[in-house]
Structure 1
Amino acid sequence: MPVTDIITDAENLTMTVIADLAAPVDRVWNAYTDPEQLNRFWGPPGWPATFTKWDATVGGTAHYTMHGPRGEKASGRWEFLRIDAPHSFEVLDAFADEDGTPDENLPSMRMVFTFEATADGTRMVNTSHFSSAEALEQVVQMGAVEGTRLAMSQLDAVLQDLRDYAQGKGTQVELLDDTHVRITRLVEGSRELVWRAFNEEELVRKWMLGPDGWEMTECVIGLEPGASFRNSWAPVGDTEGEPFGFEGEVLLFDPPRRAVSTERMQGQSIETLNDLNLYEEDGATLVTVLIEYPDKETRDMILATGMAEGMEASYARLEREVLAG
């Protein structure tokens, strides 16, 4: 993760985020001042931001909304106070409604971003100034420190060319905290086709099989919020193992970018929340699955089953037998 430190200072009424980034100042500046790039890391995993207005001039405003996995929304508004490209900019950041009207019941803060060249890239410092100790404490209690750390964990993927970042690395598993795991895999193919491969039965049956020696015996796909899905597998021939399957409900369906669903093994009550996101760059698509487990013990138990290895076998088959054709 690029975050070096997050410091809250009740005496000076500030929260300071320090990040050391392996990219030149101009590249980091572009990431922070291009709304399409900000969309990829401003919200924490599971709460991606969408900037709906962008006027990066002194006195101009930017509006954004973060979308939670269960349909929750949280919006904010920036008013640009000072811009010194590519070294720094300053905004007044406020909680707001989706139209950008500030919420007077929640604290606002003055945020100063600075970008300084280092021997290895860029040091980004974001200092938020609060009007009172109570305002600072309220924002901290709302999860600002951990949310910022998790949001910044997405920045490396933004600063690098997508293929440089992920090509050839296979299925990557990151433990974000005790209950959240992020799984990423770059596949060669457009986002539209990858989305179809996840949501059309004929295509799903070609690749979502895990290790060799298994067949998909049931494939019921949910294509709208509230719909149910059900997938089952069984060993073929001399392959060892018992038939199993998963089922759940769709919570969010946003083609061709994002789908969120609950998931539990058939016959079991333990449930996870699976948040699928697709991002395309230059004909390649980064598949990101954020999984929320009920507790650390469940997380470790499921990861120990070889889940990641089975996913890698499936993704390799997706490229070979679906996307290549």
Structure 2
Amino acid sequence: MDKNLEELTLTVVADFPVTVRRLWDAYADPRQLERFWGPPQWPATFTRHDFCPGGRSEYYMTGPDDTRSGGYWEFLTVVEGVSFEVLDGFADAGGAPDPEMPTMRAVFSFEEMAGGARLTTTTYFASLDQLEQLISMGMEEGTRSAMAQIDDVLADLRTFAADRAAIAQLLGDTQVRISRVLRGTPRQIWEAHHDPELLNRWFHGPDGWALVGCRVASAPGETTRFEWAPDDGVEGEAFALVGELIETDPPHREVFTETMEGVEGPPTHNEQTLTPVQGGTLLTLVITYASAELRDLILGTGMVDGMEAGYRRLETELLAAG
């Protein structure tokens, strides 16, 4: 770790006995990143992680007394496997940038080394006062203790393996994050979610059900509608999910609402991102519900198992066929 008061920089160089691809993925995957971004006493939770140019990450760290400290990244550049650059700032309790705290520019550079990979992180400060303020807040010590956790994450190949089924992780009181690595590129996965002909081939939910209605949105403000019905001899009643597209940035990210047709109550707020990783594309879906009770009720219906059945079908029927 090198602190340069003349250049107003703090540079950290760390070597790891893994490939650049493995080290890069630890930063690209929010499930992995949050296991080392905060010091052990202040673990991080990422509620958003758009790992692409123009993207944004939002997170909070939770202290021993449940005190929260928020932060965000704004991605200026992302060159896959080489480097990424962010504006690194503090956030208030509502997630907005905190005007009382400084904002830094940070560059993360990755390079192959004999026997492993090197990560060089350089943080640029706007003034000497800003640098000294953050150093006095324990930035050096916090960085050392946080990065000391990376080795354990890199060694954990099973938890984040590409052949694992979809998993759900509770975030806060009302959110859930569903993650799955799918074989294919982000563009292929995006098209499979937005081409009605392709959707008809995999977006069935559990076995024994069929997609009988499909309206896809391509621009903010347009609405969606997906209807499913059971096959003959399968128990259950037809139902439909409707929503509205809020944001779209193909093939990286989209934000949309969703609710069951005919059911009163606020819709869910869904943020889906597609990030290239080793083995394919990491699909991350963060769903925000109106309450913890509603979230737990929906998850208890076997929703994630139904999504996994669809993802398996997507891989085998679409991607395997090219």
Normalised by the size of structure 1, how large is the TM-score?
0.61
Equivalent in the alignment of 1:311: 307
1:284 and 2:284 correspond: no
Cα deviation code 1:168-192 (max 9, x no counterpart): 3201111122211111111111111
Runs of 4+ more than 6 Å apart = 33-36, 86-90, 160-164
Equivalent in the alignment of 1:64: 87
Q: 5 Å matches for 1:248-259?
A: 248-259=243-254
**Identity value in percent:** 34
1:45 and 2:47 correspond: yes
Residue type of the partner of 2:76? T
Equivalent in the alignment of 1:302: 298
CA distance in 2, matches of 1:305, 1:50: 36
Contact 1:25 1:122 in 2 (8 A): no
1:177 and 2:172 correspond: yes
CA shift for structure 1 position 223: 1.1
Q: 5 Å matches for 1:1-325?
A: 26=16, 37=27, 41=33, 44-46=46-48, 48=57, 49-52=73-76, 63-64=86-87, 74=97, 76-78=103-105, 91=123, 109-110=134-135, 111-112=139-140, 113-115=142-144, 122-123=148-149, 156=153, 159=154, 165-268=160-263, 269-325=265-321
CA, structure 1 residues 314+245, in 2 after alignment: closer, same or farther (shift >3 Å)? same
Query: Which secondary structure does the structure 2 equivalent of 1:245 belong to?
Result: strand
CA, structure 1 residues 199+162, in 2 after alignment: closer, same or farther (shift >3 Å)? farther
Equivalent in the alignment of 2:53: none
Cα deviation code 1:12-50 (max 9, x no counterpart): xxxxxxxxxxxx85379x89x989947965793225244
Aligned length: 242
Cα deviation code 1:188-245 (max 9, x no counterpart): 1111101100111111111111111111111111112211111111111111101101
Give the superposed CA RMSD: 4.3
Residue type of the partner of 2:144? F
CA distance in 1, matches of 2:145, 2:192: 43
Contact 1:244 1:266 in 2 (8 A): yes
List runs of 5+ in structure 1 lacking aligned partners: 1-23, 55-61, 67-71, 81-85, 95-101, 103-107, 125-154
Equivalent in the alignment of 1:134: none
List runs of 5+ in structure 2 lacking aligned partners: 1-13, 38-44, 49-55, 58-72, 79-84, 90-94, 108-117, 128-132
